[in-house]
Structure 1
Amino acid sequence: MNKFIYLLLFFSFFSFSQTKSLVGVVSDDSNKPLESANVIAKPLQEKASLKFAIADNKGRYRLELDKAVKYEITVSYIGFVEEVFILDADAVVTSHDFKLKPTGEQLKEIVIKHEFKPIVIKKDTMTFDVKSFANGNERKMKEILEKLPGVEVDKNGGVTVQGKKVTKMLVEGKSFFGGGSKLAVENIPADALDKIEVIDHFNEVGFMKQVSDSDELAMNVKLKADKKKFVFGDVEAGAEVGNADNGFYLGHAALFYYSPKSNVSFIGDLNNIGKRTFTFDDLMRFGGGMSTFLSGRKSLTNLYSFANDNQDVVQNTSQFGAFNFSHDTSSKLSISGFSIFSKVLTASQTQTNNEYLQNTAFAFEDRAQNGDSRSVLGIGNIKLDYSPSAKEKWYYNGQYQSTTNAISNTINSITSLNSSVFETISKADNTAIKQYIEWHKNYNLKHTTTLVINQAYDYNTPQTNWFTDQPFLAGLIPLQDDSSYRIEQIKKVKNNSVDALFKHYWIIDNFNHLYTNVGNNYGASRFETSEKQILTNGTINDFALNGFGNAIKYKLNDAYVGLEYKFRIGKWTNKPGLYLHWYHLITEQKAGNQSLSKTLFQPQWNSDYEFNKSETLNFSYKLENSFPQATQLADQFTLQNYNLVYKGNALLQNERYHNTSLRYSKMNLYRGVTWNAMASFNQKVKTIRNEIQLDGINQFNTPILSDNPETNYNVSGAFTKKIYRFNLRFNTNLSWFNYFQTINTIETSNNRNNQRMGVVLKTAYKKWPGFSVGYTKGFSQFSGITRSNFQTDAIASDFDISIAKFWTYKISYENLKNTNNNNQSNFYDIANTSLRYQKKNSPFGFELTANNLFNNKVKNDYSFSDYLISERTTFVLPRVFLFSVSYKL
């Protein structure tokens, strides 16, 4: 560690001694600061790099220049004549102010000498020029994004810019595989990128931009000129070396064709090393099939098994293929679509020590679990984009989705009373059809209209069989004595919904807008369950005779009208709104029919204050209502697990809750500082929460509606500072959650709090090796029936270096330590490394990769809930040495 500190000090001293700073102010001829002016320092000698800066809200700029280098410094700003300053190599000047003159109306032509601007900031758009941040060793888009100021990419491919998540990914202005980020950042070649645009308040319809108040953040990838009508991409194949008995392999292809009118993309992946090609967020986007103007509709489709990398298994085989296309048939009509196929086979093994918390006694369970799963997914999606004129836009989107999940689990449960072995075999088939149509019409400068109709249908038929060697859930399920026990469960879940919205935008003037909303959301569900015991002699014990077996028809209609008034006072924009909802809920089931009608007001308020182009403050508030789903209202018993029975509550009504958030963002390139902070508050005034009955490890849950408030506070933030050639980042996330929980008829007030604080230091100079090291400290506290405290210490580090031009070496390391309430600790560390060889102009690349370098067999962690404390050991994939060959088109 001491050597590492000395190395950092050496780097810092070296960079300081080899650079000089030039500061100043950019203003107009009346001394008014010109915010976001571009300052470009072009070296007038070879082997020196271009430098740049952007003026802050006070017009200040700072350039970090190499010593002994002569520069031509150019300042540009829209509407002003450029000014050039020559800084000699031996100059002792440390400051220089620029005063720009307006171009004037009589000037017909402006000659821009320097089109290259590393970062250009407009009101809602920030554009990065890739070549000023890349060093040429990057293979994929992800490695480029990680070097852009204020941009972060997490391990699942999610992208954030200044703390805000990118929700739409575009390539050349067109949606890339439904707009998900992971497929783009991990597959688009780095050498195809020209510019990266970040667009806040994004809207696909140009004339809707000023009225839609979209909160979407889009990232648009602009390709190099030679890639805009060209086939590019790469293919890769790898096999295990050193211990071929395991049979690990990897095959991957990412192929792209782009032209002005058509583009086609294909991504294929086949591996058994736990690598998934896309995330759950991407799947939700692919499987959403809903207009962005309509939100809040819940989907019962379960796609978790297809998402995220999963090396916490003993076996994992993933097969994936995705095809995306877009074609402009004419200047008015564009057709786009995608299809996805995924097949995932996994085998898992865990050991868990559970402590069940009860009011009078505790129960302990040692559980060993082995599981196998097979999940198959197919999605087809097509979208039509029709523009009959510049003031009218039509969209149609249709999607078909089919999934199959087959799971087999064996659980060995040992308690102080007995030992049981449970085998569970389940299969679920799901079919979904989703479609929507959108119409947008701009009549004139003052009036615009939107109409959206959304329809969705899905049908899910899960079947589960439980096998065990002795009776279980005594007193909760009506078992008959037998030599062995088999329980068969069949569920049928059918959902159909139609949502419609008509919205009119009236721009009264530049400072006042009035928006009118009329809509209706209709949802119908049918939920059926059946549980039976199949005895060894062939007879059937139907649980329906003892309160099991649900058959519920559910209809919920929500008709509403709303008025939103948007007004601006200087830099302050507000949009209060008031909605009136008429809810009507009808349920039909065995125990009788229920009907519920409510008329509810739902106010909301959004407020934005723009201090300057780089500093904003946003506040939002909304009062919302949420009605229970069919599964919560089904009032017959349902077997959920080997130790859990659930029963719904037909008398449930709506939850009512307040949502408030405050977000602050600031980026100051003059000081090299980025601030992001967010605080949120959620309070439920009417709460649906499960009432729990515990008997040993056996549980019986039923939902109840109470007036007990639930409050959830969350504060998160990040601060980044550039220090010479380094970026230093501090981040934190604090949450407090208070609620009431009833266990064995006794109600307790529970508090679940979490704190996480971290620091990351990484190099920010493209001529240096890439290096980052971070430390995160986490605390978790729970108080209720008992008090529990957990701590985590996490260290993460990455390093990459170019060797002799053609070699690239990378290594990543993670270490996680968990400490429980009794000060007992467990930990695991994971290291992955690779060595790659590729000549600059050669299409072939060769790479040797080592995953789980230390050959760790298990991961350990602690967790807790309202009534359960668990210590879990998860068996993971062994060390893998993989040799792969790639070919770049």
Structure 2
Amino acid sequence: MRNLLFTFILLPFFTFSQTLTGVVQDSIGNPLQNANVMAKPLVENAGLKFSIADHLGRYKLELEKDTPYEVKVSYLGFKEEVLQLPANFTIREHIFKLKETGQELKEIVINYDYQPVIVKKDTLIYDVKAFANGNERKMKEVLEKMPGVEVSKDGSVTVQGKKVTKMLVEGKSFFGGGTKLAVENIPADALDKVEVIDNFNEVGFLKQVSDSEDLAMNVKLKEDKKKFIFGDVEAGAEVANDNGFYLGHAGLFYYAPKTNVSYIGDINNIGKRTFSFEDMMRFQGGVSSFISGRKSLTNLYNFASDNTDVVENKSQFSALNFRQEINSKLDIEGFGIFSKLFTASFSESQNEYLQNSAFTFEDKTSTTQNKALLGIGNVKLNFSPTNQSKWFYNGQFQASSNDITNQILSVRDGSQNNFQNIQNADNSQWKQFLEWHKQFKNKNHTTTFVVNHSFENNKPQNTWLTDTEFLAGLIPLQNDSEYNIQQVKKVKNNSVDALFKHYWILNNFNHLYTNVGNNFGTTQLTISEKQFLTDGSVNDFAANGFGNDLDYVLNDFYVGLEYKFKIGKWINKPAIYTHFYHLKTKQITSDYSLNRTYFEPQFNSEYEFNQSESLKFNYKLSNDFPDATRLLERYTLQSYNSVYKGNALLKNERFHSASLRYTKSSMYRGLMLFANASFNKKIRTIRNVIELDGINQFSTPILTDNPETNWRVNANISKKIYRFRLQFTTNLSWFNYVQTLNGTTTSNDRNNQSFGLKLRTATKKWPSASIGYNKDFSQFSGLTKSNFTNDRISFDVDIDFLKNFNFKTDYEVTFNKNSNNQNNRFAIANAFLSYQKKNNPFRFELSAQNYLNNGTKVNNSFSDFLISNNTTYILPRIVMLSISYKL
């Protein structure tokens, strides 16, 4: 029986495929890296096979048995060589020796019906028809079948282990360049080719001198889609129970040589989001990539990422993207986004507050309703007066509002307190930047000038309602039957940043870059807290140290020199920057100013072993000045159990940061490896000093010389084994810091370790399936010791059957264990059954979300002084029937 089982498991490996390996060389035996090796089947209904030679010229082809092939090898500037292989061939290794043609070609051109992959210096071009079988609906399903391409559940895309940071369609940015909107909405049958461009730069003549880490994916449309309206619409409704769940979606695209318009609309109450949080941050950006973005006070997290961890969720979303070519020199492109969201959530938590030798326990129940609106409009002008000159102007306006009602029941020592917190926030923001890039006639000198401006106006308001006195001794309450405390904030941020950068190419191995810039920012912040009594009188907290009025100015003028040189395969770029900082604040009772000059060195180094293997090192010494809220001189109310007071005399933090990254990919070995180690050390640190009384907290920041260190190591290793791909991931972190709590200073360690193993199929002939296991460990050591463990097992399958049917399912079960050996388990599973005839525009799908009808999720967490066990209630089972129509 054991031998029979062993034979059954190994049968797919040895029955249906045979392997041909070897080397591609020139006439004198030198390896030809990136040579294309194509195997054309000489019978019908068999797929094309291909391989790309690695840096040693090695290739590997996994061919079908009982199938004859014609193997053809192509390489830049060399004549093709052909090998005929009969069915069930016996040779297992063959060396190709190519002869030079004497011609210089700009790229590898494969004289063949298919061109599955074209390899250039920093570009891969995938021919979609070599990978798609015609049953794919969206771009995501096509990408998943391309070698070296991975698409995650959140819509992010990686190619050979590197994340795609810019999405283009026909060479133009698609909805700000995010990947999720593209891969989940562009129809699969509109794709012709997919280009992957490493070290991407929107300005072509800057590519030689810039150190871009961007990886762009450019979608080429089929000829009949380049002046065509295409897309799909979908509608769905619940067919089990009577909860009123629904879904509506539309993705409509019009592409013409000079005009592109895309519209995406979505309405549902099943927790589905059209775009990810990363996309939201991209839309919120509106700043030049040459100047690091400033912190925004507007929190847009609720608008992004799927959220089923609620008891109710209603979402409406509309987005319009356009591009218009005015003439050969000027393009206008932009997007508009509108989102409306309502969520209701319910959670329970058991909290343990650490207070030196004592502990306080709280049982907390929280019910929250959130109504949110968001509107974003963005327009960008691309002007190219000459081939050596480029102008960009980008303007963005953003408005949002959040209305949150939070009911809190806090039970402690047998007594309970009820709180209602009402939050209203109206926010608006205007951002714009202007860029000018110029390459001079001799092409050894290039100049960039950038000006970035941002204005932000936020008006958050908070109201706390309760029938019980709270925060005794921390806020000046007057006795009353009902307590009504209102807080009003007004925040205005204004910034202007400018940069002038000159690139001087001394020769092919030495570059010199000069930087002169200035970052100027102001903040006007006012906060008031008042108690409105039932007799109509008002208790203004300002008389007791509350209420803040702050004018804040921070200016950073800097000059920097960067020297980039190359020794063989080793590229180095040391840099020295001199920063002249000026900080000034004006408050109710005090004025404060600070002037500092700092040298901030940087060092970047990269060693490229070959085109598929590299090692990179980065180091930087930085200074970070406190923002306005940390400098507030008076008290402010933060929550039902927290009061905060800033420190008007704070100075800057100072820290070292370094990282080491190693990447390797080999199609010959079916191996992809990514590893990164980073180290951050603050030698001057701002950290809150905390006073706890039961659950009540008072905190204020201080500047200390106590160092903080943070180590992080993460790695991702993927190896193809026969028709499977095995993936191992790990994330490790060690964080050490000093915390003062109730007058006692302790050294704390907060560490996390995560390990994951995943096995999935890696052949188009089998159903797509994977099984994974993740193990997480968390430790906290300080006033007390805590340990959490988390085990997660996942499974998913995607199978086509009976020609027109498709079935997908995913299952994930999680086991949590806390320091008291309490165990919790929860499982989430979803399933989708769809039917669509080939070339028929209609598609029918029956879906079951959370079909196990699990009602809660449990997780554990800890902070500087709090250990918490949380239970979150989630959406119930949702069974829907949806119909979609493809234009």
The TM tier, using the shorter chain, reads over 0.9
| Paired letter, 1:138 | E
In the alignment, which residue of structure 2 is the partner of 1:75?
73
User: Given the alignment, which residue of 476, 490, 493 partners 2:491?
Assistant: 493
In the alignment, which residue of structure 2 is the partner of 1:271?
268
SS at match of 1:758: strand
Confirm or deny: 8 A CA contact 1:145 1:152 kept in the other structure: yes
SS at match of 2:94: coil
Matched, 1:262 2:259: yes
CA pair 447-7 structure 1, distance change in 2 beyond 3 A: farther
Report the Cα offset of residue 37 of structure 1.
0.3
Matched, 1:242 2:240: yes
Matched, 1:188 2:179: no
Confirm or deny: 8 A CA contact 1:793 1:816 kept in the other structure: yes
CA pair 707-858 structure 1, distance change in 2 beyond 3 A: same
In the alignment, which residue of structure 2 is the partner of 1:628?
626
Report the Cα offset of residue 120 of structure 1.
3.3
Confirm or deny: 8 A CA contact 1:40 1:117 kept in the other structure: no
Matched, 1:399 2:401: no
User: Given the alignment, which residue of 131, 144, 154 partners 1:146?
Assistant: 144
Distance 1:454 1:65 in 2: 55
Distance 1:192 1:205 in 2: 27
In the alignment, which residue of structure 2 is the partner of 1:708?
706
In the alignment, which residue of structure 2 is the partner of 1:171?
169
Report the Cα offset of residue 46 of structure 1.
0.8
Confirm or deny: 8 A CA contact 1:503 1:517 kept in the other structure: yes
In the alignment, which residue of structure 1 is the partner of 2:425?
428
Q: Deviations over 1:154-191 (max 9, x none)?
A: 32222233333222111111111011111112111122
User: Given the alignment, which residue of 369, 378, 382 partners 2:366?
Assistant: 369
Report the Cα offset of residue 304 of structure 1.
1.4
Report the Cα offset of residue 745 of structure 1.
1.3
CA pair 8-464 structure 1, distance change in 2 beyond 3 A: farther
Distance 2:425 2:103 in 1: 70
Report the Cα offset of residue 117 of structure 1.
3.4
Distance 1:8 1:832 in 2: 32
Confirm or deny: 8 A CA contact 2:712 2:732 kept in the other structure: yes
Distance 2:533 2:677 in 1: 57
Distance 1:108 1:427 in 2: 59
SS at match of 2:207: helix
Matched, 1:113 2:111: yes
Confirm or deny: 8 A CA contact 2:107 2:119 kept in the other structure: no
Confirm or deny: 8 A CA contact 1:615 1:666 kept in the other structure: yes
SS at match of 1:545: helix
Distance 1:108 1:501 in 2: 36
Report the Cα offset of residue 153 of structure 1.
2.5
User: Given the alignment, which residue of 375, 379, 383 partners 1:378?
Assistant: 375
Distance 2:737 2:150 in 1: 34
Q: Deviations over 1:201-234 (max 9, x none)?
A: 1110000001111122222222222222211111
In the alignment, which residue of structure 2 is the partner of 1:760?
758
In the alignment, which residue of structure 2 is the partner of 1:610?
608
SS at match of 2:114: coil
Distance 2:149 2:44 in 1: 30
Alignment of 1:24-423 (within 5 A): 24-105=22-103, 112-114=110-112, 116-243=114-241, 245-416=242-413, 418-423=415-420
User: Given the alignment, which residue of 789, 792, 815 partners 1:791?
Assistant: 789
Q: Deviations over 1:59-95 (max 9, x none)?
A: 1111111112111111001111111111112431211
CA pair 320-198 structure 1, distance change in 2 beyond 3 A: same
In the alignment, which residue of structure 1 is the partner of 2:674?
676
Distance 1:9 1:650 in 2: 75
CA pair 345-868 structure 1, distance change in 2 beyond 3 A: same
Distance 1:112 1:699 in 2: 69
SS at match of 1:284: helix
Matched, 1:867 2:853: no
Distance 1:769 1:819 in 2: 35
Confirm or deny: 8 A CA contact 1:740 1:750 kept in the other structure: yes
Confirm or deny: 8 A CA contact 1:448 1:505 kept in the other structure: yes
Q: Deviations over 1:593-645 (max 9, x none)?
A: 00000000111011111111111111111111111100110111110000000
Q: Deviations over 1:365-397 (max 9, x none)?
A: 001111100000000000000000000000000
Q: Deviations over 1:411-441 (max 9, x none)?
A: 0000016310000111000010000000000
User: Given the alignment, which residue of 572, 576, 584 partners 1:586?
Assistant: 584
Report the Cα offset of residue 115 of structure 1.
6.0
Gaps of 5+ in 1: none
Matched, 1:564 2:562: yes
Confirm or deny: 8 A CA contact 2:161 2:672 kept in the other structure: no
| Paired letter, 2:589 | A
| Paired letter, 2:356 | N
Distance 2:108 2:649 in 1: 72
Report the Cα offset of residue 19 of structure 1.
1.2
Confirm or deny: 8 A CA contact 1:16 1:724 kept in the other structure: no
| Paired letter, 1:239 | A
| Paired letter, 1:767 | K
Distance 2:669 2:531 in 1: 71
| Paired letter, 2:308 | Q
Matched, 1:815 2:813: yes
Confirm or deny: 8 A CA contact 2:108 2:119 kept in the other structure: no
Distance 1:105 1:197 in 2: 25
Matched, 1:805 2:826: no
Distance 1:662 1:110 in 2: 33
CA pair 45-403 structure 1, distance change in 2 beyond 3 A: same
CA pair 164-433 structure 1, distance change in 2 beyond 3 A: same
SS at match of 1:96: strand
In the alignment, which residue of structure 1 is the partner of 2:545?
547
CA pair 142-538 structure 1, distance change in 2 beyond 3 A: same
Q: Which deviates the most, 161-170 or 642-651?
A: 161-170
CA pair 8-327 structure 1, distance change in 2 beyond 3 A: farther
Distance 1:49 1:155 in 2: 28
Percentage of identical aligned residues: 63
| Paired letter, 1:574 | N
Report the Cα offset of residue 535 of structure 1.
0.2
Confirm or deny: 8 A CA contact 1:169 1:184 kept in the other structure: yes
Distance 1:7 1:222 in 2: 47
User: Given the alignment, which residue of 448, 451, 470 partners 1:450?
Assistant: 448
Distance 2:141 2:229 in 1: 22
Report the Cα offset of residue 18 of structure 1.
1.6
Report the Cα offset of residue 13 of structure 1.
2.0
Distance 2:332 2:659 in 1: 38
RMSD value over aligned CA atoms? 1.8
Confirm or deny: 8 A CA contact 1:12 1:725 kept in the other structure: no
In the alignment, which residue of structure 2 is the partner of 1:720?
718
Report the Cα offset of residue 144 of structure 1.
2.5
Confirm or deny: 8 A CA contact 2:353 2:361 kept in the other structure: yes
Distance 1:364 1:594 in 2: 41
Confirm or deny: 8 A CA contact 1:353 1:871 kept in the other structure: yes
Q: Deviations over 1:265-311 (max 9, x none)?
A: 00000000000111221111111110000004222221112111110
Confirm or deny: 8 A CA contact 1:637 1:646 kept in the other structure: yes
| Paired letter, 2:449 | L
